[in-house]
Structure 1
């Protein structure tokens, strides 16, 4: 259930991208979801929760997974769960990210843990 809940959150509200050097997955939610985002942070060791931010009349937290937290902790779950049959647009976003950052992902996988 834990993996399914996490995958569902990211499928529906997650952003799959990067900073030009490494891939990252981002989840931005209203401050009323702080408890849920703290739980997400616990589920993916090494991920980070930033905020709260107050901007443009909105109050939100931003959760991010990148580096080893993404490659070793989150990516295996996403690749298993976000299949094209479930949600083609989410699968495409994930595939685009992993293709664009294939070298960075390979380097992270090759490093000893």
Structure 2
């Protein structure tokens, strides 16, 4: 994964990322308006094993949801530099660290 790809993914996670899980396995999701479909298509190609769901229409909003979990999530997290998040956006870093603690990814 090149520096541009890492940086764009980190930016998306800072701006739109949700770090959570279903109680059994962790996941990271991004939910954005359907007009960002090309960005989501790129993201699925950039993060093998990630999935794109939608488009959904809820409350007049049309959106896609991208999700990564399981081995693809672990691989993605290994490639990203959490130190950059800690420096640039501590709240996002803390949300990521909480998910990692909650699901034993440390």
User: Does the TM-score normalized on the shorter chain lie above 0.5?
Assistant: yes
Using structure 2 for the length normalisation, give the TM-score: 0.90
2:96 — aligned with what?
94
How far did residue 80 of structure 1 move?
3.5
Using structure 1 for the length normalisation, give the TM-score: 0.85
Deviations 1:44-66 (A, max 9, x none): 10000000000111000000000
1:83 — aligned with what?
85
| Residues 50 and 67, structure 2, Cα contact 8 Å, conserved in 1 | yes
Work out the number of aligned pairs and report it: 103
1:10 — aligned with what?
13
More displaced, 81-90 or 54-63?
81-90
Whole-angstrom CA distance in 1 between matches of 2:68 and 2:53: 11
The question of 1:47 aligning with 2:50 is answered yes
Structure 2 residues not aligned, in runs of 5+: none
How far did residue 78 of structure 1 move?
3.6
How far did residue 7 of structure 1 move?
1.0
